[in-house]
Amino acid sequence: MIMDIDLKTEELKVYELSFLIEDPVISEKILNLLKQFNAEIVLNKQPEKINLAYPIKKQNQAFFGFVYFKALPEQIIEIDKILHQEKDLLRFMIIKDPIIKDNKNTQNKKSHNLNIKEKNNFDHLTNEALEKKLEEILEEK
């Protein structure tokens, strides 16, 4: 039995594109760019006006938005080049494998099966307790 497998679907990676823009209409340009590369939009956060900690291109306020999307890794280089040429973007950043939290599970695949309570307790660990905890984690693997 021969199965028809779409290899491109298997190669898709999840990315987050965060951006600061002067005008919220620019977010539509960003979405259209992603659609041109056949990126699958997972989540689109509409831009909200924020105060900037420091001026960017003489602007003290900007609209902050982000998009989670799936795309082929080789397309990210081209998307990045095009976004760098976009003069209406104040700042942007593309992150691979962002941590997407949902209501059911606040853990991610990089958390090494630690729950939130255990993560917060690391702030209060001594060096000895930290070494012991690291040994426990290594033994689990």
pLDDT (tens digit, 9 = 90+) per residue, 29-75? 999 999 999 999 999 999 999 999 999 999 999 999 999 999 999 99
- End-to-end alpha-carbon separation of the chain, Å? 37
Residues 6+ apart with CB under 8 A from 122: 130, 133
Q: Are 76 and 15 in contact (CB under 8 A)?
A: yes
Question: What are all long-range contacts of 107-111, with beta carbons under 8 Å and residues at least 24 apart?
Answer: none
In order of their start, the domains of the chain are 11-96 (3.30.70.60), 103-141 (no CATH)
pLDDT tens track for 74-122:
999 999 999 999 988 999 999 998 876 654 443 444 443 334 444 444 4
pLDDT band at 6 (very low <50, low <70, confident <90, very high): very low
Would you say the pTM of this structure is higher than 0.75? no
pLDDT value for 136: 79
pLDDT tens track for 59-68:
999 999 999 9
pLDDT value for 107: 41
